[in-house]
Amino acid sequence: MQSRVARLDRFISVRTGINRKHVRLMLAQGRVQVDGVPATDIQQPVGEFSRVLLDGEVLQANTPRYVMLHKPVGVVSATRDTLHKTVIDLLECPDADTLHIVGRLDLNSSGLLLLTNDGRWSRELTSPQSKVSKQYRVTLANPIGEDYVAAFAGGMYFAYEDITTRPAGLRILSERVAEVTLVEGRYHQIKRMFGRFRNPVLALHRHAIGNLALDPNLEPGQSRELTCQEVRSIAGKVPAN
Ligand code: URA
């Protein structure tokens, strides 16, 4: 997802159709405001959430949005789909179609799914360098062996992508239930990792991303906006409450 940054004179010219020479004059005359401050520098960067006014008229006023959804099984993590209901269909806000998904869940997985219109935030959460953890509760068809723990921690080679998975945590909670912690999101990663032991995944539920846990008050299909503290603390920069 791109977070768009443009030069102020270009931005105004594209938005209004006024040629750049005239835009520069308008800037010099103090007719433009960016985030409440008169702007005169033609090179001033305009981000996707900068509020830009020309002669008091709003040219751009996007609000960053951050939503947590309790994704139910059977709903697809996509913005459009011809067969299934999508996670966007579940959101009640009018601008739902401006949001994108931060780290998908499979059709038959459930749990915490984040959506935003802030490309910089979603990139930060999903980039391999940031190593934001994701926690899943996994129910399996067969008993889980102690030997799984070392195999998950040691990484598994996936020939199709020619990669070795990063060390993953596995905590055995009961005979057929485990908590798995990943710092990446390869295609069907957990199912494929348990597949190495010929142990099919029966249910997969993501309950946390970084410092953020799925709100227990959200029923499957329900969503809510994140608080400012949650937005800032999720990647572990500020301790969550
Ligand atoms: N791993 C999977 O196999 N499926 C998911 O939905 C998430 C992680």
The CATH number covering residue 13 comes to: 3.10.290.10
**Is residue 158 domain-shared with residue 97, that is, in the same domain?**
yes
241 part of a folded domain = no
Predicted local confidence at residue 235, as pLDDT: 81
Q: What is the mean pLDDT of residues 154-176?
A: 97
**Is residue 49 domain-shared with residue 101, that is, in the same domain?**
no
The string of pLDDT tens digits covering residues 137-152 is 999 999 999 999 999 9
The DSSP symbol for 129 reads: G
**Is residue 113 domain-shared with residue 212, that is, in the same domain?**
yes
- Cα separation, 171 vs 148, in Å, equals 10
What's the 238 CA to ligand 1 centre distance in angstroms? 27
3-state class of 6 per DSSP? strand
The encoded tokens of residue 197 equal: 């032991």
Q: What is the CATH number of the domain that holds 74?
A: 3.30.2350.10
Ligand 1 atom 3, closest CA:
188
193 part of a folded domain = yes
Total domain count, the chain? 2
In terms of C-beta density within 10 A (0-12 exposed, 13-18 middle, 19 or more buried), how is residue 32 classed?
A: buried
**Is residue 120 domain-shared with residue 175, that is, in the same domain?**
yes
- Cα separation, 153 vs 46, in Å, equals 44
Q: What predicted TM-score, i.e. pTM, was given to this entire model?
A: 0.86
113 part of a folded domain = yes
- Cα separation, 22 vs 38, in Å, equals 17
**Is residue 14 domain-shared with residue 39, that is, in the same domain?**
yes
The string of pLDDT tens digits covering residues 179-208 is 999 999 999 999 999 999 999 999 999 999
pLDDT band for position 127 (50/70/90)? confident
Mean pLDDT, all residues of the chain: 93
Q: Is the pLDDT of residue 10 over 80?
A: yes
- Could you say which of 41, 60, 79 is where a domain stops? 60
Q: What is the mean pLDDT of residues 115-130?
A: 91
**Is residue 143 domain-shared with residue 102, that is, in the same domain?**
yes
Residue positions annotated with a catalytic role = 106
Pocket lining: 99 vs ligand 1, CB cutoff 6 Å: no
**Is residue 30 domain-shared with residue 121, that is, in the same domain?**
no
What's the 150 CA to ligand 1 centre distance in angstroms? 20
Pocket lining: 124 vs ligand 1, CB cutoff 6 Å: no
**Is residue 228 domain-shared with residue 138, that is, in the same domain?**
yes
185 part of a folded domain = yes
Domain that holds residue 126: 66-233
**Is residue 82 domain-shared with residue 178, that is, in the same domain?**
yes
171 part of a folded domain = yes
What's the 160 CA to ligand 1 centre distance in angstroms? 17
**Is residue 113 domain-shared with residue 219, that is, in the same domain?**
yes
